[in-house]
Structure 1
Amino acid sequence: MNADAKELASSFDLEKLTPEFYDNPYPTYRALRENEPVKRLRNGTVFLTRYDDLVTTYKNTKSFSSDKKREFAPKYGDTPLYEHHTTSLVFNDPPSHTRVRRLIMGALSPRAIAGMEGDLIKLIDGLLDAIAAKGACELIEDFAASIPIEVIGNLLDVPHEERGPLRNWSLAILGALEPVVSPDVAARGNSAVTDFLAYLETLVARRRQKPGNAERDVLTRLIEGEENGERLTEKELLHNCIFLLNAGHETTTNLIGNGLVALDRNPDQKQRLIDNPGLIKTAVEEMLRYESSNQLGNRMTTEKVEIGGVMLDAGTSVTLCIGAANRDPAQFPDPERFDIARTPNRHLAFATGA
Structure 2
Amino acid sequence: MDSETLLARITDYASRPDPYPLYAELREAGPVVRQADGSHLVGGYHQVAALLHDPRMSADPRTGGAVTRKPPFLRLDDPEHHRLRTLAMRPFGPPHCPGRVDGMRGEIEQITKELLSSFEAGREIDVVDDFAYPLPVTVICRLLGVPRQDEPLFRTWSDALVAAADVRPDADATEPDESADRARTEMGGYLLNLAEQRRGKPADDMLSAFVNEPDPDLRLSQEELAETAILLLIAGHETTVNLITNGVLTLLRRPEQLDHLRREPGLLPRAVEELLRFEPPVHMRERIPREDMDIAGVPVAKGTSVILALASGNRDPRRFHEPDRFDPTRPDNEHLGFCSGIHYCFGAPLARVEAYAALGALLPLLGSAHLLEDPPPYRQNAMLRGPRHLRVRL
Task: Give the Cα–Cα distance (whole angstroms) in 1 for the partners of residues 65 and 111 of structure 2.
Answer: 38
Task: Give the Cα–Cα distance (whole angstroms) in 2 for the partners of residues 39 and 320 of structure 1.
Answer: 11
Deviation at 1:111, TM superposition (A): 4.1
- Matched with 1:127 is 115
Q: Structure 2: give runs of 5+ residues left out of the alignment.
A: 346-394
1:273-323 per-position Cα deviation (integer Å, ceiling 9, x unaligned): 111111111111111110110001010000111111112121111000011
**What secondary structure does 2:120 align onto?**
helix
Task: Give the Cα–Cα distance (whole angstroms) in 1 for the partners of residues 122 and 258 of structure 2.
Answer: 23
- Name the one with the larger helix percent: 1
1:244-300 per-position Cα deviation (integer Å, ceiling 9, x unaligned): 111122110100010110011111111111111111111111111101100010100
Which consecutive segments of 4 or more residues in structure 1 shift more than 6 A? none
Match of 2:197 among 189, 206, 212: 206
- Matched with 1:317 is 305
Deviation at 1:121, TM superposition (A): 1.9
Deviation at 1:162, TM superposition (A): 2.7
Aligned 8 A contact 2:32 2:41 in 1: yes
- Matched with 2:322 is 334
Match of 1:67 among 60, 70, 75: 60
Aligned 8 A contact 1:222 1:237 in 2: yes
Deviation at 1:70, TM superposition (A): 4.4
Task: Give the Cα–Cα distance (whole angstroms) in 2 for the partners of residues 93 and 18 of structure 1.
Answer: 30
Does residue 232 in structure 1 map to residue 220 in structure 2? yes
Aligned 8 A contact 1:279 1:340 in 2: yes
- Counterpart mapping for 1:1-354 below 5 A: 9-14=3-8, 17-61=11-55, 63-71=56-64, 73-74=66-67, 82-83=69-70, 86=71, 88-109=72-93, 110-132=98-120, 135-178=123-166, 179=168, 180=170, 186-213=177-204, 217-225=205-213, 229-352=217-340, 353=344
- The number of residues matched between the two structures is 335
Taking only aligned residues, the RMSD between alpha carbons, in angstroms, comes to: 2.5
Flag the structure with more relative contact order, 1 or 2, with Cα contacts below 8 A and sequence separation at least 6. 2
1:209-242 per-position Cα deviation (integer Å, ceiling 9, x unaligned): 41113xxx22222233477933222211111110
Task: Give the Cα–Cα distance (whole angstroms) in 2 for the partners of residues 289 and 8 of structure 1.
Answer: 27
Q: Structure 1: give runs of 5+ residues left out of the alignment.
A: 1-6
Residues 342 and 136 from structure 1, CA distance in 2 versus in 1: closer, same or farther, beyond 3 angstroms? Answer: same
Deviation at 1:72, TM superposition (A): 7.5
Deviation at 1:187, TM superposition (A): 3.4
Task: Give the Cα–Cα distance (whole angstroms) in 2 for the partners of residues 72 and 296 of structure 1.
Answer: 21
Task: Give the Cα–Cα distance (whole angstroms) in 1 for the partners of residues 249 and 3 of structure 2.
Answer: 28
1:93-150 per-position Cα deviation (integer Å, ceiling 9, x unaligned): 0000011111112221244223423332222112112232881111111111111111
Counterpart code for 2:45:
Y
Task: Give the Cα–Cα distance (whole angstroms) in 1 for the partners of residues 64 and 236 of structure 2.
Answer: 24
Q: State percent identity of aligned pairs.
A: 34
Counterpart code for 2:303:
G
Residues 206 and 58 from structure 1, CA distance in 2 versus in 1: closer, same or farther, beyond 3 angstroms? Answer: same
Aligned 8 A contact 1:172 1:192 in 2: yes
Task: Give the Cα–Cα distance (whole angstroms) in 1 for the partners of residues 99 and 208 of structure 2.
Answer: 14
Task: Give the Cα–Cα distance (whole angstroms) in 1 for the partners of residues 87 and 289 of structure 2.
Answer: 27
